[in-house]
Structure 1
Amino acid sequence: MDIDEKQLLIADVDVGTDTVVFKMMDGRKIEAPLWWYPRLHAASASERKNWEILPFGDAVGWENLDEYISAKALIVGGAAPGAKPPAEAAE
């Protein structure tokens, strides 16, 4: 499956208490569980809001957290190294 680079352009980001959502330029929303990104999950609400769309428009960075997520990573899926599901983390 080829992905057109235009399909990866991010318009906005919303980080809730349980999910990270990329709102794409073409109107789609791509969502992932927040626990996939431990640094972002552990961050305060104000730190989570301190993001920027990176220069090519296909990734978002939280520089103060050293967290960077591409649209392609959300589409393909998969947790960051070391991420544990909430049920597993509670054990």
Structure 2
Amino acid sequence: MTCKKNPEPRIVAFRLTNASLITQLADGRTVSVPLAWSWRLSEATPKQRNNFEIMGSGQGVYWPDIDEDISAAGMLCGTPARRPKRATRSRQSKAGSTAKRARVPV
């Protein structure tokens, strides 16, 4: 038995609640993901969250005020956005001390 590949999911309607992102797809499915899956949206103001646009022909949703976009495929796959790792203070100190040692003549 073979499975027919589904076409790329397309968003036809989108709404936000205080806790969820809810999309209506062209094929009739409704997909809801927690707002917490996007750290940028979680930290955004209500005004920033409500300033969104559906991208292209429904491939995703974009929030220009916070430069966040979430694809319909990403919502279906269940992939939360990861917060970028920042260098810890000890890593920065080590990098700085290594650079200083490299400059000292031997």
TM-score by length of 1: 0.78
Distance 1:28 1:45 in 2: 26
Match in the other structure for 2:7: 4
Deviation at 1:27, TM superposition (A): 2.2
1:1-91 to 2 correspondences below 5 Å:
2-5=5-8, 8-82=9-83
Residues 40-75 of structure 1 deviation map (CA, whole Å, 9 limit, x = unaligned):
111122211111111132111001111000000000
TM-score by length of 2: 0.68
Instruction: Provide structure 1 residue ranges, at least 5 long, that are not aligned to the other structure.
Output: 84-91
Deviation at 1:36, TM superposition (A): 0.6
Kindly provide the amino acid, as one letter, of the partner of residue 81 in structure 1.
R
Q: CA RMSD in A?
A: 1.7
Distance 2:83 2:66 in 1: 16
Partner SS for 2:47? helix
Runs of 4+ in 1 over 3 A off after TM superposition: none
Match in the other structure for 1:88: none
Select the structure of larger CA radius of gyration. Answer: 2
Kindly provide the amino acid, as one letter, of the partner of residue 61 in structure 2.
V
Kindly provide the amino acid, as one letter, of the partner of residue 31 in structure 1.
S
Distance 1:17 1:28 in 2: 21
Indicate the percent of aligned positions where both proteins have the same amino acid. Answer: 31
Kindly provide the amino acid, as one letter, of the partner of residue 65 in structure 2.
N
Count of residue correspondences: 81
